[in-house]
Amino acid sequence: MGKKWTIIGGGSVRAPFFANSLAKRAKALHVSTLCLYDTDPEKLRIIGSIARHAAHNIDPELNVVLEADLTRAIADTDYFVTTIRVGGDHSRVVDEQIAQKNGVLGQETTGAGGFFMAARSIPVLAEYCEKIRELAPNAWIFNFTNPSGLVAQAMRTLGYDRVIGICDTPSSTKLRIAVDFDPGHVVYVWVDALSNYITALGYDNDRFTLDFFGLNHLSWARDAEYEGRHVMKDILSDEELPKKVGELAMFEPDLIRLIGHIPNEYLYYYYYRDKTVGNIQKAGTTRGLSVEENNIRMLAELKELDLEQEADKAQEIYLRHMYSREASYMQIETSKKVMHTPEALVMPEGEGYAGIAMEFASAIESGKSRSVVLSVPNNGSIEGLADSDVVEITCTVDQDGAHPVHIGKTAPEIYSLIVSVKAYERLSVEAILNGSKDAAVKALIAHPLIGSYSVAKSLVEDFCQMQGQYVQHWR
């Protein structure tokens, strides 16, 4: 009998991308079933149909099941992916409104917005993890629900030690990059950007290693090694680097040179905090609102179709809206067009977050080690952090699980940022698990993008008022 993968939140708009990626590796990973579970039957029907079509275009033998019953979804599953959005897209819009009112960033993974999403997500995910522990105790759980690292920290704190945080930001090396396929023609594709960039420099990818460290959405590439030779200085000396790697386009070359590391794109919010908030205020809209409106339009168009008879047309509509969404990525916050829409409406070549999960599974199943960037307990890797602190870091994965590389000491200015955000995460877990408003205020004070008692107190009060149905038990 083949392996079963289950997506909890299978009605997520990115589920077809996952199905497309898994289908490519289904036979190698001995996967026979992909189960999509969701509490929203209409989204599951629509998105699930597109996901099934995408998978069957690659591997008709992969059984894609749409499931509304949680017990049946969990039963016999070997690998789970959790990607849920408690409160739907509009909850993100409300989070951003609360943040804007208080003059801080409302992005869903970072700062106030990340805390609000975590407060809604963690209790629900804890219930799912408990059900999984009961019905599929040996399964691995890949959490993709934002803020991924904070959620993984909470699940680990609760004792769910088979939860792994995954992400498809630069910290996991899955980037969008401008690639010259022929003279004068540049296209943007969803590929492993650093791998392509490294190849362009003349290095053989198979003999190249890159060490990432930090926290989810707060990480850096510290070291690059090729055949035993450290080559990060060569990479950083390239003044064209921000133009060649899409997500780095928002950073000034001098900043990259100054920090001496390749930054995760989310570090823009920290290195350009004033500009970020100012750009959002100037735009008069938010990323969450644009995503919500895009998804509403997409689902409205798809509802008009016979999804079985018009599967190709449905996929085309889906891709058009998804690539439009990708093209607006970080545009409001940076006031720059970071991404561009591909000319052809085809499923992406890159694997995104699916590739991270599948690389882990491949190592577990084959016994052949893989190097993968994951959110896992520190276990002595970054000096100064507790062993139990969940960090985002390059890991060697084998049959026994993930083993983070040793980082040791980090630069003082980077270490101080990691420590303050980790303090925020610890306090956030305490606040959410215990329903404590005081702990929530302390958590937000600790976050470097807030750092104010009056602002933190107002944020918590506004959240409890505007999203009160999710925190009725808070005291």
pTM for this structure?
Answer: 0.92
Kindly list the distances between the CA atom of residue 181 and the CA atoms of 186, 200, 243, 244, 447, in Å, as whole numbers in the listed order: 7, 12, 16, 13, 43
Contacts of 246 (CB under 8 A, 6+ apart): 175, 176, 177, 178, 188, 193, 338, 339
Lowest mean pLDDT among 115-124, 192-201, 237-246, 386-395: 192-201
Amino acid residing at 160? Y
**Which has the closest alpha carbon to 459: 94, 90, 99, 118?**
99
Contacts of 161 (CB under 8 A, 6+ apart): none
Give 229's pLDDT tier (boundaries 50, 70, 90).
confident
The predicted structure's pLDDT at residue 447: 98
Residue that is written with structure tokens 């039957």 in the block = 41
Judge contact between 243 and 254, C-beta under 8 A: no
The two beta strands, 3-8 and 31-37, are parallel
Q: What is the DSSP letter of 343?
A: S
- Residue 309: Cβ-neighbour burial (10 angstroms; 0-12, 13-18, 19+): exposed
What does the block give as tokens for 460? 């918590």
**Which has the closest alpha carbon to 447: 62, 144, 60, 115?**
115
Give tens-digit pLDDT for 40-51.
999 999 999 999
Q: What crossing angle do the helices spanning 41-58 and 287-303 adopt, rounded to 10°?
A: 80
Instruction: Say how many CA atoms lie within 13 Å of 288 toward its Cβ.
Output: 23
The predicted structure's pLDDT at residue 221: 87
Residue 247 has pLDDT above 60, yes or no: yes
* Average pLDDT rounded to a whole number, residues 397-403: 94
Length of the chain measured in residues: 475
The predicted structure's pLDDT at residue 234: 77
The predicted structure's pLDDT at residue 343: 67
Lowest mean pLDDT among 4-13, 180-189, 326-335, 459-468: 180-189
Residues facing 67 on adjacent strands: 37
Give tens-digit pLDDT for 298-331.
999 999 999 999 999 999 999 999 998 888 888 8
- Residue 102: Cβ-neighbour burial (10 angstroms; 0-12, 13-18, 19+): buried
Give tens-digit pLDDT for 117-159.
999 999 999 999 999 999 999 999 999 999 999 999 999 999 9
CA torsion, points 460, 110, 361, 175, in degrees to nearest 10? Answer: 160
d(CA 464, CA 475): 10
Residue 273 has pLDDT above 90, yes or no: yes
Kindly list the distances between the CA atom of residue 48 and the CA atoms of 147, 245, 382, in Å, as whole numbers in the listed order: 24, 32, 41
* Average pLDDT rounded to a whole number, residues 16-23: 97
The predicted structure's pLDDT at residue 188: 28
Residue 189 has pLDDT above 60, yes or no: no
Question: In whole numbers, what is the pLDDT of the chain averaged over residues?
Answer: 89
The predicted structure's pLDDT at residue 211: 82
Residue that is written with structure tokens 């409300």 in the block = 94
The predicted structure's pLDDT at residue 190: 27
The predicted structure's pLDDT at residue 106: 92
**Which has the closest alpha carbon to 389: 430, 423, 431, 436?**
423
What does the block give as tokens for 92? 């993100």
| Between 280 and 328, residue with greater pLDDT | 280
Contacts of 264 (CB under 8 A, 6+ apart): 169, 170, 171, 214, 217, 218, 219, 220
* Enclosing H/E stretch for 430: helix 412-434
What does the block give as tokens for 466? 């505007």
The predicted structure's pLDDT at residue 232: 79
Lowest mean pLDDT among 143-152, 202-211, 231-240: 202-211
d(CA 99, CA 221): 30
Give 275's pLDDT tier (boundaries 50, 70, 90).
very high
Amino acid residing at 358? M
**Which has the closest alpha carbon to 343: 320, 374, 359?**
320
d(CA 158, CA 122): 10
Contacts of 408 (CB under 8 A, 6+ apart): 382, 383
* Average pLDDT rounded to a whole number, residues 280-290: 91
* Average pLDDT rounded to a whole number, residues 237-242: 77
Judge contact between 17 and 190, C-beta under 8 A: no
Residue 243 has pLDDT above 50, yes or no: yes
What is the SS3 assignment for 246-292? HHHCCCCHHHHHHHCCEECHHHHHHHCHHHHHHHHHHHCCCHHHHHH
Q: What is the DSSP letter of 347?
A: -
